[in-house]
Structure 1
Amino acid sequence: MTGCHAFRRLQTLALTLIVTAGSFVAAQADTKIKMVLNWKYEGPQGMFFLAQDRGYFKAEGLDVSFDQGNGSGAAVPQVANGAYDMGFGDINALIELAAKKPDEAPIGVYQMYNRPPFTVAVKADSPIKTPADFVGRKLGGAANDGALKLFPALCAATKIDCTKVEVTNMQPNLREQMLMKDQVDGVFGYITTIRFSARLIGIDPEKEIRFIKFGDYGMDLYSNAIIVSRKFAKENPDAVKGFLKALNRGVKDAMADPKAAIEAVQKREPLIKPEIERARLEATLSDEMTSPEISKIGHGDINDERMSKAIDILVSAKELPRTPKVGDVFDRSFMPPLADRPTAIKAAM
Structure 2
Amino acid sequence: MLKTFLSTVALGLCLNSAALADTAIKFTLGWKTQGSDAAFLLAKEAGYFEAEGLDVTIDQGEGSAATVTRIMSGTYDAGFGDINAIIQNAATRPDEAPVMVYQLWNKPPFAIVSKKETNITKPADLVGKTLGGAQGTPTTRLVTVLATLNDVDMAQVKIDNMGPNLQEPMLIKGDIDGALVFNITSWFNLINNRQDPAKDYNWLLFGDHGLDLYSNGLMVSQKLIAENPQAVAGLVRAVNKAAIEIGLDTEKGMDSVVAFDNLVKRDLEHDRLKFSYENLIVSPEVEKLGLGDLDDSRLARSIDIVAEGYQLPSKPTAEQIFDRQFLPPIEERKLTYTAN
Return the match for 1:176 from 148, 163, 168: 168
1:280 aligns with one of 266, 272, 285: 272
Query: How far is the alpha carbon of 1:52 from its aligned partner?
Result: 0.7
Shift of 1:28: 6.5
| Partner residue, 1:214 | 206
C-alpha separation between the residues in 1 aligned to 2:337 and 2:65?
Answer: 26
Distance 1:240 1:143 in 2: 33
User: Percent identical across equivalent pairs?
Assistant: 41
Q: Would the aligned equivalents of 2:30 and 2:67 in 1 still touch at CA under 8 Å?
A: yes
Residue 133 of structure 2 corresponds to 141
- Which residue of structure 2 aligns with residue 346 of structure 1? 337
Tell me which of 236, 242, 258 is aligned to 1:244. Answer: 236
For the structure 1 residues 67 and 183, does the alpha-carbon distance in structure 2 shift closer, same or farther, using more than 3 Å as the test?
A: farther
What does residue 189 of structure 1 align with?
181
Q: Number of residues paired by the alignment?
A: 329
Equivalent position amino acid for 2:97 in 1:
A
Report the CA distance shift for 1:295/1:184 in structure 2 as closer, same or farther (over 3 A): same
For residue 197 of structure 2, what is the aligned residue in structure 1?
205
1:333 to 309, 325, 331: 325
One-letter amino acid of the structure 2 residue matched with residue 205 of structure 1:
P
Q: Give the conservation status (yes or no) of the 8 Å contact 2:91–2:315.
A: yes
- Pick the aligned partner of 1:123 from 86, 101, 115: 115
- Aligned residues of 1:285 and 1:347 also touching (Cα < 8 A): no
Name stretches of at least 5 consecutive residues in structure 1 with no aligned partner: 1-17
Structure 2 distance, partners of 1:309, 1:84, is: 29
AA paired with 1:198? L
Counterpart for residue 291 of structure 1: 283
1:53 aligns with 2:75: no
Of stretches 286-295 and 158-167 in structure 1, the one that deviates more from structure 2 is 158-167
Q: How does 1:106-121 map to 2 (within 5 A)?
A: 106-121=98-113
Q: Which whole-Å deviations, capped at 9, do the CAs of 1:26-68 have from their partners, x for residues lacking one?
A: 4673211111111221111122111111100011111112222
Residue in structure 2 matched with residue 39 of structure 1 by the alignment: 31
For the structure 1 residues 75 and 62, does the alpha-carbon distance in structure 2 shift closer, same or farther, using more than 3 Å as the test?
same
User: Compared with structure 1, are the counterparts of its residues 235 and 168 closer, same or farther at alpha carbon in structure 2 (3 Å cutoff)?
Assistant: farther
* Matching residue of 2:262: 270
Q: CA deviation at 1:285?
A: 0.7
Q: What is the aligned partner in structure 2 of residue 87 from structure 1?
A: 79
Kindly indicate whether the alpha-carbon contact (under 8 Å) linking 1:71 and 1:146 is maintained by their aligned counterparts in 2.
Answer: no
> CA-to-partner distance for each residue in 1:83-130, whole Å, 9 max, x for gaps?
211121111121122122212211111100011221011111114343
Pick the structure with greater CA Rg. Answer: 1
Structure 1 pair 53–340 and aligned structure 2 pair: CA distance change class (3 A): same
Q: CA RMSD in A?
A: 2.4
Secondary structure of 2:284's counterpart equals coil
Separation in 1, partners of 2:155, 2:89: 23
Deviation at 1:294, TM superposition (A): 1.8
TM-score by length of 2: 0.88
Conserved 8 A contact 1:156-1:317: no
Question: SS in structure 1 opposite 2:204?
Answer: strand
1:180-206 per-residue CA deviation (whole Å, 9 max, x = no partner) reads: 012322212222322122112211011
- 2:20–2:51 contact (8 Å) kept in structure 1: no
Structure 1 stretch 128-137 or stretch 112-121: which is displaced more?
128-137
Gaps of 5+ in 2: 1-10
